[in-house]
Amino acid sequence: MDPDRVAPEIRESNYATWRRQGGWAPLVVTRAEDSTFWTDDGRAILDFSSQLVATNLGHSNRAVQDAVARQVRELPYAAPGFATRARAELSEALLGILPTGLDRLFFSTSGTEANEAAVQIARVATGRSKVVSRYRSYHGATAASISVTGDFRRRGSEPGGKVPGTVFAPDCYCYRCPFGLTYPSCGIACAEYVDYQLEHEGDVAAMIVEPVVGTNGVIVPVPEYLPRIRAITKAHDVLLIADEVMTAWGRTGTWFAVDHWGVSPDILTTAKGVTGAYVPLGVTATTASLHATFRDRYFPHGHTYEAHPVTLAPAVAAIGEYRRLGLLEKSARDGDYLLARLREVAARHPSVGDVRGLGLFAAVELVRNRTTRAPFNTPDDKLAGRPLMAEKVAQAMLANGVYVMPWVSHLVLAPPLIATRPELDRGVEALDAALAVADAGVDV
């Protein structure tokens, strides 16, 4: 194809996700290596968000690439009713790193499918229908996963396309506490409300949480929150589902974010970094007791690409690379460094309301007024297609050779775990310069 036709062909024939279709002008990406990708005009762009918080291993890990190639040559496909060496090897590798008690696995091809399976398993195994989620959450775009998504993206599926039975709880979001309280004198009211909710709601099968909220702001909970949620769900015989699609695979400095708080959920879902995003793979891990409920009961779930060998083999290689390169420890160290640098930048810019993060997973929240914490934009602005300040800042960074992911009124900073300190510095410096755009719009 004529290189000049690539972008026009895609614009004219493809849907663009989570946006109005008019005005979409995608960059043409031609190749990528380590923490950098190149566009068709030869520009080198530092990937400071790992695309969609997915390419944790960078863009050119040879061990993972070779694993894909070997598997395609050896066995490119087998139906999920068969056993394969890749399936056995990945199962063994996962059971060595998953939180305690999670030792039964279902493989799919995305995070949304992993969550779809989790909700299905929870509802059928318990015989109950409701799921508790939180308002600042995103769990996927298919029927059940969009239904348990708290953010505005579920509105397009309501009411007809939404699976009934979801109720929403408040977020552990200290910067914008839904109760107007201050930690620690708050008594972790956001968690205690869930206790009240489960006591009175009835028919609840599970609660689903992102241990660290992802797209909706990289919201790190206070230390007491997740252990308390685990205790509350156990007390009410409600399953706890941890959505680790973004937060696993060293992103927060541990294999899984729940490891920071010593919490073992009943179900854990993950995707993205499990293969470094080189091929699509989703994982739903459950306890043996949940699996046992289906020993003599029909398991009502499955699909053609479940346990696809070409998706499994690179995950085995990826786990080996996380270990070989020491990326969990590096993420923890470099995450501290990145947060310190971001806080230095924030002190110079009145448009920065909050900086937060864990490991190499951070967010910069933009505000029109630091005192009132009024945001530049709201979800309604996104839905209406109005200009967003976060997108303007991201565009200024891109013009300076650094890509970050903007969302409504914050930026998600999540470079590949292999990123060097000079690359981290370069990304922060690009942010520092681009924030002048937002500073110009603050209330005086």
Q: Which residues of 72-93 are buried (b: 16+ CB within 10 A; e: fewer)?
A: eeeeeeeebeeebebbebbbeb
Contact 398, 45 (CB under 8 A): yes
CA distance readout (Å), 187 to 74, 78, 172, 195, 262: 56, 52, 12, 13, 20
d(CA 372, CA 439): 16
Across residues 420-426, what is the average pLDDT? 98
Average per-residue pLDDT for the chain: 97
Q: What is the pLDDT of residues 293-308, one digit of tens each?
A: 999 999 999 999 999 9
**pLDDT of 284 strictly over 90:** yes
Contact 143, 112 (CB under 8 A): no
Q: For position 164, what pLDDT does the model report? A: 82
Structure-block tokens of residue 389: 């300040």
In the chain, the percentage of residues whose pLDDT exceeds 70 is 99
Residue among 159, 237, 243, 164 at smallest CA distance from 202: 237
Whole-structure pTM value: 0.97
Q: Where exactly are the structural domains of the chain?
A: 3-60+326-439, 62-324
Q: What is the pLDDT of residues 51-88, one digit of tens each?
A: 999 999 999 999 999 999 999 999 999 999 999 999 99
Structure-block tokens of residue 133: 């989620």
Q: For position 158, what pLDDT does the model report? A: 83
Q: For position 7, what pLDDT does the model report? A: 95
Q: What is the pLDDT of residues 242-268, one digit of tens each?
A: 999 999 999 999 999 999 999 999 999
Indicate the SS3 state at residue 426: helix
Handedness of CA 116, 117, 123, 124 (dihedral sign): positive
d(CA 211, CA 209): 6
**CATH H superfamily, domain 3-60+326-439:** Aspartate Aminotransferase, domain 1 (3.90.1150.10)
**pLDDT of 160 strictly over 70:** no
**pLDDT of 161 strictly over 80:** no
pLDDT band at 444 (very low <50, low <70, confident <90, very high): confident
Q: What is the pLDDT of residues 334-364, one digit of tens each?
A: 999 999 999 999 999 999 999 999 999 999 9
Across residues 364-373, what is the average pLDDT? 97
Q: What is the pLDDT of residues 175-230, one digit of tens each?
A: 999 999 999 999 999 999 999 999 999 999 999 999 999 999 999 999 999 999 99
Q: For position 366, what pLDDT does the model report? A: 98
Instruction: State which fold the 62-324 domain adopts.
Output: Aspartate Aminotransferase; domain 2 (3.40.640)
d(CA 384, CA 370): 25
Structure-block tokens of residue 54: 């997915």
